[in-house]
A and B are shown apart, each in its own frame.
Chain A
Amino acid sequence: MSGVRGAGLDPYRADVQGPLAARREYLYGLNPISKIFGPAPAMVLVLVSTTMFTPLCFVILCALLMLTGLRWQRSSLLTLALALPAFILVFGISFSLWADQRHTAHTPVVFEIGSFALTSGALDIGFTTALRLAALFGLALTGGLSSTGPDLVRSSIQHLKLPYRIGYTALAAYRFVPRFGYELESIRQAHRVRGMSPGRGPIASTRRSMGYVVPLLTGAIRHAGRVSLAMDARAFGAHDTRTERHLVPMRRRDWFFMIGFWIFTAAVLAIAIWRG
């Protein structure tokens, strides 16, 4: 494994991601907590906003943050340049079609197909909704794409007083996920070979899934028991505290990012109120 692109993308290898990232890719170097608590008020604001202005501000902010702070390849830049406008366009038009006609009937008609008229009010509602969705995604992904589970757990233990016994157990459970995927695939194959509920459609597929629960749970419980024995055998939980090799400090830049985000959010709110 070389220290170039892709290496840092292994979900488990979170701790090396920060140091591996170039200085310019500053989002990776920030504390996950600041990347959650910074955008959190903005997410609430976007959720309750009714105008296009508020979500638009955050879409632009997040696009800027991600463009400057994340590691990009040419292909992913292209995706962003095309996918983001396409997303807003497609969802905007779709939501416009779904908009409640009673509220928009009085607004001017933009165009008509047969008896169906698309009004400017409907377009307004549709694009606002699409922008709100895009803003929410952006706010979540700004932190999400640049931080990892293990770092979040470590940071929560260090700064939010999360008990380490809970945090590290959660981290160990993280490793179960690919294993369960593999187990489920194997159970699915086995049941198919036994001729369980063949056929298509939601009913057959629900019946099939019900049959997977017991073997999957049995395997999971047995595996969890063994893992916990192995953890106990290595003194997990022996002492009240545990040495932390990977410190995830709250540095000045983390406070700067978080408080900066709050100030921006407050400013957007103020302007939105002022605009009426």
Chain B
Amino acid sequence: MSLELLPGEVLLILGPSGSGKSTLALALNGLIPHAVPATLTGSVRVGERETVGASVATLSETVAMVFQDPDTQMITGSVLDEVCFGPENLGLPVAEVLERAETALREVDLWERRTENPDRLSGGGRQRLAIACALAMRSPVLVLDEPTANLDPAGIEEVYRVLARVVSRGDRSVVLIEHNLDPAMHLVDRVLVLDALGRTAFLGDAHEILRTHTAELLALGVWLPVSLMAALRLREAGIVLDPLPLTPDELTAGLRAHALPALNSEPRQTAGIWDSPILRVSNLTLRRGRREVLRDINLSLDAGSFLAVIGTNGAGKTTLVQAIAGVIPPPRGTVSLAGLDPARLDVRTLTSRVGFVFQNPENQFVTYTVADELAHGLRLRGIDAEIVDARVDDLLGRFALTEAREQHPFLLSGGQKRRLSVGTALVAGAPILALDEPTFGQDRARANELLGLLHELNAGGTTIIVVSHDLQLVADYATHVAVMRDGELVGMGPRDEILADEELLLTAGLRMPPLIRAMRGLKEHPTWRSITRLDELPGHPDDLVSTPNGGAE
């Protein structure tokens, strides 16, 4: 592949997972082939230098990087020291180190917090700090590899606010690898699209390529802005938006220019399947040391629901779900799982009532092969070997792991590990499955694959509880939403009700997902305003009522 980066431009790199986007990013600043062994043919030339001849450290003066996980980028004990770390490595005089650090920290609005420990910043704050660290290198090229993948919506907003400021200076070229395209599109000049084999599929003006080659991009498995996906769906129904929108604002503007027909208001989904609470939490308060991490929580959930617990980092989402699943013993009498109290159950009974999937699936693997891993929970119960084998075979098939049955769980791919951990949680027949941030650090393709699996399980009657801060995933799959803030449950109800409550989301530090934001802007079309999911949009001419809606109720 060939690529030239122009001074001052923002280049977006897109491609299906495994197409080598991150590899390209690492090659740009010489970490490939220097720190990561690899064979590089052809050449990467940064400024005047070939990367192969120059050391990583000298190249890092030209190319600065921001990685996906802010935690792995923090080295020192204070915000100021962190930003100074790079310039100090360059051996600059102290005065210049400090001057660079101050400029960079002011740019990302962290100067006032310079004496704090980076651990005390929020996820978004730490990622802004990582950007400041890269800025302090004063390199002409800035590479960001999925900088918002681990952040909550407020953090994503912060990062893009800062990036917009950096880009507006126009003194740096930015290379951006990103799946979450809606907030990024207004910054981007050009796009490079890689195909599954890592070859250049398209290279050129980002907005033009996304609009004119949409079908090819979809076929490649590239993620497109939700706003664009919405417009494509609408085109099927005969509502043609021109130009195709790439951001929520453009989608709103495009739709407002149309005389939209009223939508058939679908009957609301009824909550749950059997309408009997399978889970009841009453007056749950949990202390860690002297601090109350959960305060007076009350909720009940019907069997067959799909509950998403949302909130910013540290709001107590994970703790709540862990207490429900008995991972942290809740105070007696506060949680009831179909009449049973997890605080009084032994592990075997508990796991046959509720399965829990940890954020890092590796943490819960205890045996040496995939098949043993699934069989473990059954053998503990002293179940006959034949029944165990049959059940394991069945689960291997259901979770597409038959090929991998003799592999070591640690050697599976990320998606397989996640599926295996779901399988082990369900093997004992638990009617409730709880998952802690199941999409954390995964790309959208894998996240959707997993959520699809959960959706199937849910359709089969399993009650699902997920902790998440990806509100579009919540909108696409959940039936109910619980909003946490500072250890308190500030809102709980059917999905559409909660997601429509912008004030509630804002006070909880969350933001509306792009599609909902675009639809809420349609003041003239009340039947359209409540749309939260792509599949609620008319996707076929028959979905539309023939009479255009003039804005009346």
Chain A residues in the interface with B (C-beta under 8 A): 1, 10-16, 150, 168, 171-172, 175, 178-179, 183, 186-187, 189-196, 198, 211, 214-215, 218-219, 223, 226-239, 241-245
Contact = CB atoms under 8 A, between A and B. Distances in A.
Interface in B85-126: 85-94, 97-98, 115-117, 119
B347 A195 contact: yes
Given A235-B137, A238-B55, A243 B87 contact: yes
B324 to A, nearest CB: 13
A185 B74 CA distance: 22
B442 to A, nearest CB: 15
B376 A13 contact: no
Nearest to B355: A193
B73 A243 contact: no
Nearest to B98: A245
Given A1-B115, A10-B117, A233 B29 contact: yes
A238 B363 CA distance: 36
A170 B325 CA distance: 39
B380 interface: yes
Contacts of A171: 75-76
Contact of A227 (B75, B90, B137): B75
16 contacts: A12-B117, A15-B81, A16-B115, A171-B76, A179-B71, A193-B351, A229-B31, A232-B34, A232-B56, A232-B60, A234-B137, A236-B89, A237-B57, A243-B88, A245-B84, A245-B94
Interface stretch (B62-70, B266-274, B528-536, B545-553): B62-70
A15 B79 CA distance: 13
B250 interface: no
B360 interface: yes
B363 A215 contact: yes
A232 B31 contact: yes
B23 interface: no
B34 to A, nearest CB: 8
Contacts of B58: 235, 238
B428 to A, nearest CB: 9
A196 B74 CA distance: 34
Given A229-B26, A236-B57, 12 more contacts: A12-B117, A175-B77, A186-B360, A193-B351, A195-B348, A195-B380, A233-B31, A233-B65, A234-B89, A238-B56, A238-B57, A239-B91
Contact of A194 (B35, B64, B71, B364): B364
Contact of B35 (A189, A196, A218, A228): A228
A193 B57 contact: no
A170 B503 CA distance: 46
A12 B71 CA distance: 16
Contacts of A198: 346-347
B13 to A, nearest CB: 17
B175 to A, nearest CB: 13
A141 B97 CA distance: 35
Nearest to B348: A195
A14 B116 contact: no
Nearest to B436: A186
Given A195-B347, A195-B351, A234-B86, A187 B117 contact: no
Contact of A229 (B67, B93, B134, B327): B67
B78 interface: yes
B355 to A, nearest CB: 9
Contact of B91 (A186, A189, A243): A243
